[in-house]
Structure 1
Amino acid sequence: MAPKTNCTPAKLAAALAYLQKSGVAHTIKDLEKSLPSVAQINGMQVKDYIQMLQDDSKIRAERIGSVNWYWNFVLDDKITRQRALDAAKATYGKAVETDEELKRKLEEAESQRCADDEALEDRGECRHELLSKKRLLEIERENVRHELAAYSDNDPTELEHKSKEADELRRLTEEYTDDIYSMEGWLKDALTGNAEALSATLEAVYDKEYDEEARTLKELA
């Protein structure tokens, strides 16, 4: 239960110092007699000040029989602080381990990406280059179509050739895309539980072909 009195920090500190210095446990009646003089606390407000110190874990309390006893031993305070320090060190150690593990996974993913890029290069052309050629051929095909529309008696053989070439490039592009999706699946498994690192890696690898909304490779137009 929250104390009804508006406890002042200075009086709280004085009451705590008295309990620490005394080195013994006190009943509330003992404190109602001593604290008014040593901490300038009204006798009617002593219970509220003790309750506030207890709520803030500044003092310990134990009920023995029908009486509550209150104390603050220096050794107890040291033990509490040491436990908090040990817990903080353990948390920090786990954070360091997690950070090192994520860095290791990122290094593995980067190494795998480089190996996969080399494999694609060995096969001829990368997906980005194929897409660029495909766009150029489609533009060229549209230009030819416009020319044929103006000269309807022209032979459409060239247009057919360009169309087949563009279709073949699309087929190759889709084949490479399937390979890329397979590598992406491996990377997602390697970075399971770390969506931020996964998005950053994919964005760096896909560059202009990265779909920010879908968080993956852009669909072929």
Structure 2
Amino acid sequence: MSVSSSLKEDDNSTQLTVLKDVFQLKDLEKIAPKEKGITAMSVKEVLQSLVDDGMVDCERIGTSNYYWAFPSKALHARKHKLEVLESQLSEGSQKHASLQKSIEKAKIGRCETEERTRLAKELSSLRDQREQLKAEVEKYKDCDPQVMEEIRQANKVAKEAANRWTDNIFAIKSWAKRKFGFEGNKIDKTFGIPEDFDYID
């Protein structure tokens, strides 16, 4: 067990009696070995652990760090935690009561009978059958008229976009020929445009 955990496991009131005043690290390095039996070398590490856990406050003033842990802060923290836990308990109790009512209400008319058992089996069988049919329909999804129409529409949009870009390329080629006197085949070769480049029918 580490020195830090042994100090934290100690009684809170005893722990706080050490820090009912404001101290510097050097003061605590003298007090802690006597009061808690912690080696002076470990005090800084234990103190930092307590600061990180919010059990000890620390403030830098000038070039020095000052540490304190007043009992009133711990008391307020415990009171706040108690209020939160009581609120959660109250909410949990209300939810539990509400669920119990729902269960009781749901039990009305649900006596186990032969007919109920038979209907439950039939329902289970129908659900399995529905899953099989859904899997079967999924296999033939590509032949679904609605899916085919969506594919046709997507193809139409893609074709229009491709022809628009083809139009843009032809316009740039025409501009380059006029502006710089380039030949069409040189432009094609320079920019990697295929010889059969044309609009999509």
Normalising TM by the smaller chain, what interval?
0.3 to 0.5
Higher Rg: 2
TM-score (norm 2): 0.48
TM-score (norm 1): 0.44
